[in-house]
Structure 1
Amino acid sequence: MRTEPPVRRRRLLRPAPRGSGSSGTPSRRRLHERAPRLGGFGLSHVDAEELRHALPAGVVCVQNSYSLIDRSAEPVLQVCRERDIAWVPYFPLGSGIAGLPKVTDLPEVQEVAARLRVTPAQVGLAWLLSRSPQTMLIPGTRDLAHLEENLAAGEVILDQESLTTLAQ
């Protein structure tokens, strides 16, 4: 039995290329008008400038690609930290596509995992959790044992030596 109203999802389009004379995102005014009805909304695939533009309308969550392999969204994460916005990194252990790099294959991740006696996946997830207290992880989980391994990543403490190794 559902006691809460269903969450309505809205898509915020990316801005049109600069100089095109068109903005692909709703105006700030339109966002302000809709925000009270929405109660907040999440964004995905945005840069820091786009996030700052949408902040007045009530952004509560941002989902971007981010991992030890792809740190390009660091400026977006910084805005999320400053504004206490939930951060949901997708592909937390690298690409979900066969043949592309995986966090668990990085030598520095394997080194830290061996030293801490945890799995490389736990190191990758623990690193993400260390980046912001607002981080929410959604790692893929095949079975109960895998779920337990992923949950145990929340107990992994990365010391300064580990963080320095992973910063390379």
Structure 2
Amino acid sequence: MPMQDHVAWNAMIAGYVHVCRSREALRVFDEMMSAGAFVGEATVVSVLTACAQMGPFGPWKVGALWRWPWRCSRAWAKGICTLGQVCGPTMNGMALECLELFNRMEIPGIHPNGFTLVAVLRGCSMAGLVDEGQECFDPMKDKHGVDPWLEHYGCVVDLYGQAG
């Protein structure tokens, strides 16, 4: 690429993801990291989608993606929602990855929004993680300032239903 800015890198990664060439997308992501380019929300969404497309070989890249100190709640929310909703929470064991990201979001000043909590609860429900789901649901109002929506309650009902 003649101009190696984050926009060009993101376009290449997203293009590979769009045509289901996940390995190439992740290879370009590695090159992007080596070049020291800015990694933003667009990068996060594309890389998480590539990981989901790869089946059981993709989740290892997710951990590398989240080693940086993200200070933007939107980036965290997009990552969690991508894992929890777009990719399907049970696909490739992504429910646990979703929970891991949610737990790492515990940075001062970064709080989940209602959509993020729906994604986490949905992931817990699909994976049968009753205790983890309850731990996410119980402090919603007091800890995160989010009044439960009908969707949150639906996830909790489904969580208990899945667990019998």
TM-score, scaled relative to structure 2 = 0.37
**Greater helix fraction, Structure 1 or Structure 2:** 2
**Greater strand fraction, Structure 1 or Structure 2:** 1
